[in-house]
Amino acid sequence: MSTAMNFGTKSFRPRAPDKGSFPLDHFGECKSFKENFMTCLRENRFDNSRCRLQSKEYLECRMDNQLMAKEPLDKLGFKDLMDPPPGRQDQDSDAQV
Amino acid sequence: MLLPPSLHCRRACPLLAGCVRTLYSGRPRALRPLTELLLRRRPPSRLDARFRSRKSQEEEWRNRNRTVLTYIAAAGVGMIGLSYASVPLYRLYCQATGLGGTAVAGHNADQVETMKPVRERVIKVTFNADTHASIQWNFRPQQTEIYVVPGETALAFYRAKNPTDKPIIGISTYNVVPFDAGQYFNKIQCFCFEEQRLNPREEVDMPVFFYIDPEFDDDPRMARVDTITLSYTFFEAKEGQQLPLPGYSHN
């Protein structure tokens, strides 16, 4: 569709991903985490908001097995799922999703 | 402004004088200069030869030709320069106005940390997987759809299997429909645009980690958009082939 000569219409421009490409998991090291995540999705009618914990665990597995660059999880949007620092635990525990 | 038919003006800018005279051709005063102009363009008659020598007339013609040639050459050079300058100018224009589908000034990669999910707006993201005819992988999404909200990161999986006995290297690109929503669809990490090698009989899971920009909810053009489709297509890559990253994405 992007090769059609429609000068008036907008075309899609693919953008490179922010953090590049995931290396392939050839040995299936994080397969169990992925299965957890898929099961959670199927149970929750594919609602992503309910399965964020499992996706966080999958990404942590990838980071532990050198399949992803290590990054603090709040940079990946998991700030609300991370353990709050000690001393503020009673304030944040009911603010969790 | 009627130019007096002085000799000085006529020699210096014959074209301009002729133009001004033709402009005022409706008035009786300018009829005489117009006829003079018309008379001058005719080949020299016996009458003219009496008042002007042939040499000065040729000189006048030569001057006029040179002036016209200078104007035409300047216009030609100007056009060529404009066609070279149009590429960066157009790019600037597209970035400023956001037309042509280009991302407006790129998006901020740090906003992932600070963005807040917009809970009221649930969007269904459907997944599609395609392969080019020449690649023999089996490539499919592991979930047909997923419900996300803007501002929240989401994970999705595709699966690829190489059923042949030879390792095959694939490279993929993606597409987001509707096109306008594509600028809000940000991928943090995926498996596209880089060569992925699958060994014989190997099957892998390929994740896509993405989010939809929270500004999606503020855009009036996106008010009716409830479904976004992400479509990946795999092509076969030859050994050592280097494909450039798409677009002007120098962010």
Residue A4 within a domain = no
In a domain, residue B2? The reply is no
* Token digits of residue B234: 């795999």
- pLDDT reading at A92 higher than 50: no
Pairing verdict, β B145-148 and B196-198: unpaired
**Residue B247 placed within a domain:** no
Would you state the pLDDT for residue B36?
65
Does residue B39 lie in a domain region?
no
Per-residue pLDDT, B98: 64
Q: Which residues in chain B are contacts of A36 at CB distance < 8 A?
A: none
Four-point Cα dihedral A57, A62, A66, A72, nearest 10 = -50
Which pLDDT score is estimated for B45? 62
Give residue B119's pLDDT: 86
In a domain, B115, yes or no: no
Chain centroid to CA B85: how far?
13
Q: Do B95 and B191 belong to one domain?
A: no
Q: Which CATH number goes with the domain that contains B161?
A: 2.60.370.10
Query: Is the reported ipTM for this assembly greater than 0.85?
Result: no
Kindly tell me if the per-residue pLDDT of A90 is higher than 50: no
Q: In this structure, is residue A52 part of a structural domain?
A: yes
Whether B170 and B84 map to the same domain: the answer is: no
Q: What confidence tier does B91 reach under pLDDT thresholds 50, 70, 90?
A: confident
Q: Which of B105, B119, B191 is nearest to B149 (CA)?
A: B119
Model pLDDT for residues B143-159, shown as the tens digit of each residue: 999 999 998 889 999 99
Q: Does the pLDDT of residue B1 top 60, yes or no? A: no
**How many domains are there within chain A?**
1
Range of the domain at A31: 25-79
Is A51 within the bounds of a domain? yes
pTM above 0.80, yes or no: no
Q: Is B196 within 8 Å of A46 when comparing Cβ atoms? A: no
In a domain, B152, yes or no: yes
Give the 3-state secondary structure of residue B12. Answer: helix
Domain that holds residue B65: 49-102
Q: Is residue A94 part of a domain?
A: no
- Give chain B's domain count: 2
Peptide bond between residue B178 and the one before it cis (omega within 30 degrees of 0): yes
Query: How many angstroms separate the Cα of B249 from the Cα of each of A10, B32, B138, B188, B196?
Result: 17, 65, 30, 14, 22
Q: B-chain residues within 8 Å CB-CB of A45?
A: 147
B189/A13 CB distance under 8 A: no
Q: What's the whole-number mean pLDDT along residues B228-237?
A: 89
Q: What is the mean pLDDT of residues B206-213?
A: 90
* Within a domain: B42: no
Selection from B118, B139, B121 nearest residue B130 by Cα = B139
Higher pLDDT, B13 or B191: B191
Contact present, B230 and B155 (Cβ < 8 Å): no
pLDDT above 90 (res B85): yes
Give the full edge-to-edge strand order of the sheet including B203-212.
B138-141, B153-161, B203-212, B185-189
Residue A63 domain-assigned (yes or no): yes
Which residue intervals of B98-144 are DSSP H helices? 111-114
Instruction: Mark whether B130 and B94 lie in a shared domain.
Output: no
Calculate mean pLDDT across residues A57-74: 86
Cross-chain CB nearest to B202 (options A12, A26, A46): A26
With respect to residue A72, please indicate whether it lies within any of the assigned structural domains.
yes
Q: Establish if B40 belongs to a structural domain.
A: no
pLDDT attached to residue A68: 84
For residue A5, tell me if it sits in a domain.
no
Taking an 8 Å cut-off on Cβ atoms, the answer to whether B101 and A11 are in contact is yes
User: Which pair of structure tokens corresponds to residue B182?
Assistant: 């594509």
Per residue in B16-63, pLDDT (tens digit) is: 655 555 555 555 555 566 666 666 665 656 666 666 688 889 999 999
Mutate to test the interface with B, among A7, A11, A12, A40 (most CBs of B within 10 A): A12
Percentage of residues in chain B having pLDDT higher than 70: 69
Q: What is the mean pLDDT of chain A?
A: 77
Q: Using 50, 70 and 90 to split pLDDT, how confident is the model at B142?
A: very high
The minimum CA-CA distance between B210 and chain A, rounded to whole Å, is: 9
Per-residue model confidence as pLDDT tens digits over A17-46: 888 888 888 888 888 999 999 999 999 999
What are the residues facing B175 on neighbouring strands?
B231
Claim to verify: residue B72 and residue B136 sit in the same structural domain: no
In a domain, B208, yes or no: yes
Distance of CA B99 to the CA centre of its chain: 9
How far away is chain A from the Cα of B78, in angstroms, using its nearest Cα?
A: 26
- Whether residue B75 is found in the same domain as residue B163: no
DSSP state of A93: G
Does position B131 have pLDDT exceeding 50, yes or no?
yes
Q: Are B97 and B141 in a shared domain? A: no
